[in-house]
Amino acid sequence: MVLAGSYGRSEAAPSAATSILNYRQRLTDQGIAAVHNGTYTLLKDHLFRSPSTAAAAMVGASMNGRVTWKNAAGLTFQQIEDKKLAEA
């Protein structure tokens, strides 16, 4: 889940896959995202299919969301998941 008000790059990277460009456009068309003040901004909370899809949509380029997203303590999604699995 990426929360409303979250923002990323307004311009997609030249190397961005067509699927990323199309996804960003669908979010804009559905009123979920818009370009505001030079940033690609979520207008509504949105549940993405995966951390990587969320990262790619927000940044406009292919991204590994498991290592890109970090919590307030600076831990990546991967580190948090690895820790939880080790505790189980």
Q: Do the domain assignments include residue 43?
A: yes
Q: Do the domain assignments include residue 37?
A: yes
Q: Do the domain assignments include residue 61?
A: yes
Q: Do the domain assignments include residue 1?
A: no
Whole-structure pTM value: 0.86
Q: Do the domain assignments include residue 33?
A: yes
DSSP readout, 30-73? Answer: TTSEEEETTEEEESS-B--SSHHHHHHHHHTS---HHHH-B-TT
Q: List the strands of the sheet with 7-9, edge to edge.
A: 7-9, 39-42, 33-36
Report the candidate in 46, 83, 81 with the shortest Cα–Cα distance to residue 67: 81
Q: How many domains does the chain have?
A: 1
Segment 34-43, tens digit of pLDDT: 998 889 999 9
Q: Do the domain assignments include residue 77?
A: yes
Segment 11-68, tens digit of pLDDT: 999 999 999 999 999 999 999 999 988 899 999 999 999 999 999 999 999 999 999 9
Range of the domain at 67: 7-87
Q: Do the domain assignments include residue 2?
A: no
Amino acid at 78: Q
